[in-house]
Amino acid sequence: MVTRIGGARRKTRQKFKKNYKTHGKISLRTFLQKLNDGDKVALVAEPAVQRGLYFRRFHGKIGTVSRKLGNCYEVIIYDMDKEKRVIVHPVHLKRV
């Protein structure tokens, strides 16, 4: 087996970077937002919160909410013509 170099946030310095005007506390509205099944959402990372973060390849993808799993949501996205199910915290989801 090959030894893996780096972790899940490897090569994400530019991708997950916040705009300088959006630094500081995150709003509770985005942290506690409620989504319904079938809602279209965009995967937009909130770098201040690491839990419930998706894999970096899916950044900017648009998907549909499938169901709620605990505090997170299951989102169906298409990656390379394959349907994939990603479990994401609502702070990283933006309604489209």
Task: Give the burial class of 21: count Cβ atoms within 10 A of its Cβ; 0-12 exposed, 13-18 middle, 19 or more buried.
Answer: exposed
Is the pTM above the cut of 0.75?
yes
What is the signed CA dihedral for 33, 63, 65, 69, rounded to 10 degrees?
-80
- Cβ contact 53:8 at 8 Å: yes
pLDDT of residue 9: 87
Show the domains of the chain with their CATH numbers.
25-95 (2.30.30.70)
pLDDT score, position 7: 87
Which ranges of the chain have pLDDT less than 50?
A: none
pLDDT of residue 4: 86
